[in-house]
């Protein structure tokens, strides 16, 4: 079995998303995905990765992961690493299909049949317009309501009703980020007492409505400096957050360690980190209560499995990130049912019930607040046949004979 064609797909409707398909000469097709700066990742694949991959045995996954760690770009979540992450997921998908096994079985088998989910309270068009984590890219302005789960608008204004809605679906964990607008005003250096009181208002509403029946994650998107983050965390403690995520940039290892020692609330980080070495630096400093690898950014399934094992050695739980696309969610679910120390799996019900199903044939089933991998070999899902025929599809292929762009 040899890799015969490398295919990338971008869709104008989802400009941050890059889908990757690896075709082998025996007819199997592996599916991968990454997110943000899709054109840059696409360019790297066709300039560097595809010439290396074509003609190779796709089952030599570790060998390819090492070979694609180019001289530059291997230690960050830049275009090279994100493209390699998508390729790695597609290689695992091929391996599963070739052996007739789901990916979690290839990773060592299932430690559990399913895993608890929490809902990241994004809306249908969250971070759609550009590759930026900004309030202006929240997708709330000038858009008609697309469905019942405009959860970002809800957590800002009706967090109590939102919590009750989620509990009605047996989802007892939610992630919100009410502090971001204030970080943008001060560049993360300061928040006034009045603004801090406004920022915690959603938490007050949630606790008033459902008490401790909802685990609430506070996402801070790495927007703050250490002094401001310490002040904010101190104000959040009375509301008993499930964890506090990325209070500062996670490459500030000493600062994150200081914050972790200053609070009883677990500190979570990792979605923007690449590779096991970056996590080792945080774990060795006791800076993490929860490790959060992103399979589409930080090295794919291969690297995320290593990060999970490394975190287990330090007694730290793992919660894979997903706020990007359906392939990463599916791959993450396979990993979550495999890892002993997996804590919970992120989902976005606005995405899951909306555009995810437009792109892939099967999604990981969610029932009673828990998720499990789709049935079938490999990922257990394929690209919807109509995706390649969409008017907004930009498909680029590389093969030994020729390259083509449509």
pLDDT tens figures, 43-64: 999 999 999 999 999 999 999 9
> Average of pLDDT values for 337-360?
98
> Average of pLDDT values for 359-379?
98
Helix axis angle for 253-261 and 275-284, nearest 10°, is 40
The pLDDT score that the predictor gives to residue 208 is: 98
- The structural domain count of the chain equals 2
By C-alpha distance, which of 337, 314, 358, 289 is closest to 110? 337
> Average of pLDDT values for 192-216?
98
- Check whether residue 87 and residue 19 sit in a common domain: yes
- Check whether residue 160 and residue 225 sit in a common domain: yes
- Check whether residue 181 and residue 319 sit in a common domain: yes
Q: What percent of the chain has pLDDT over 70?
A: 98
- Check whether residue 68 and residue 126 sit in a common domain: no
- Check whether residue 244 and residue 332 sit in a common domain: yes
Task: Note whether residue 376 is domain-resident.
Answer: no
> Average of pLDDT values for 233-243?
98
Task: Check whether 71 has a pLDDT greater than 90.
Answer: no
pTM: 0.97
Task: Check whether 73 has a pLDDT greater than 90.
Answer: no
Query: Residues of 396-406 as b/e, b for ≥16 C-beta within 10 angstroms?
Result: bbbbeeeeeee
Task: Note whether residue 232 is domain-resident.
Answer: yes
Task: Check whether 401 has a pLDDT greater than 90.
Answer: no
d(CA 110, CA 191): 45
The pLDDT score that the predictor gives to residue 132 is: 81
- Check whether residue 245 and residue 292 sit in a common domain: yes
The pLDDT score that the predictor gives to residue 55 is: 97
Lowest mean pLDDT among 4-18, 141-155, 186-200: 141-155
d(CA 12, CA 27): 28
- Check whether residue 225 and residue 289 sit in a common domain: yes
> Average of pLDDT values for 307-320?
98
CATH assignment of the domain containing 390: 3.30.390.10
In terms of residue numbers, what domain contains 247?
Answer: 105-371
pLDDT tens figures, 125-176: 999 887 788 999 999 876 667 899 999 999 999 999 999 999 999 999 999 9
The pLDDT score that the predictor gives to residue 406 is: 47
Whole-number average pLDDT of the chain: 96
Confidence band, pLDDT 50/70/90 cuts, at residue 355: very high
> Average of pLDDT values for 247-261?
97
Task: Note whether residue 133 is domain-resident.
Answer: yes
- Check whether residue 225 and residue 244 sit in a common domain: yes
- Tell me how crowded residue 153 is: count the other CB atoms within 10 A of its CB: 16
- Check whether residue 218 and residue 350 sit in a common domain: yes
Task: Note whether residue 378 is domain-resident.
Answer: no
């Amino acid at each position: 079995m040899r890799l015969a064609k490398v295919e990338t797909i971008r869709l104008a409707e989802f400009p941050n998303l890059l889908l990757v398909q690896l075709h082998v000469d025996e007819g199997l097709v592996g599916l991968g995905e990454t997110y943000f700066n899709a054109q840059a990742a696409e360019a790297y694949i066709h300039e560097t990765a595809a010439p290396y991959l074509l003609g190779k045995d796709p089952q030599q996954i570790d060998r390819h992961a090492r070979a694609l760690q180019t001289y530059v770009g291997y230690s960050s979540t830049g275009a090279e690493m994100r493209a390699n992450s998508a390729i790695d997921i597609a290689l695992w998908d091929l391996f599963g299909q070739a052996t007739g096994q789901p990916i979690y079985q290839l990773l060592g088998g299932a430690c559990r049949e399913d895993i608890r989910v929490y809902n990241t309270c994004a809306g249908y068009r969250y971070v759609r317009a550009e590759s930026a984590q900004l309030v202006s890219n929240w997708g709330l302005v000038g858009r008609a309501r697309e469905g019942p789960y405009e959860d970002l608008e809800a957590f800002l204004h009706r967090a109590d009703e939102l919590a009750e809605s989620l509990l009605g679906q047996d989802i007892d964990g939610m992630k919100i980020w009410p502090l971001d607008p204030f970080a943008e005003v001060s560049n993360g250096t300061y928040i006034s007492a009045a603004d801090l009181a406004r920022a915690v208002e959603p938490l007050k509403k949630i606790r008033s409505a459902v008490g401790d029946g909802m685990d609430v994650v506070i996402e801070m998107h790495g927007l703050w400096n250490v002094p401001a983050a310490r002040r904010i965390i101190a104000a959040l403690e009375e509301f008993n957050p499930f964890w506090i995520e990325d209070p500062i940039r996670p490459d500030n290892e000493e600062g994150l360690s200081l914050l972790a020692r200053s609070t009883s609330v677990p500190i979570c980080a990792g979605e923007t980190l690449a590779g096991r070495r970056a996590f080792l630096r945080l774990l060795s400093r006791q800076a993490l209560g929860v490790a959060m690898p992103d399979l589409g950014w930080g090295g794919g399934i291969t690297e995320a499995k290593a990060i999970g094992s490394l975190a287990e050695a330090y007694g730290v739980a793992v919660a894979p990130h997903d706020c990007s696309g359906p392939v990463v969610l599916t791959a993450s679910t396979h990993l979550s049912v495999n890892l002993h120390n997996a804590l919970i799996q992120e989902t976005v019900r606005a995405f899951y019930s909306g555009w995810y199903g437009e792109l892939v044939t099967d999604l990981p089933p969610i029932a009673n607040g828990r998720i499990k991998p789709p049935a079938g070999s490999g990922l257990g899902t394929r690209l919807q046949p109509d995706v390649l025929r969409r008017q907004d599809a930009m498909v680029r292929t590389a093969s030994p004979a020729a390259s083509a762009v449509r």
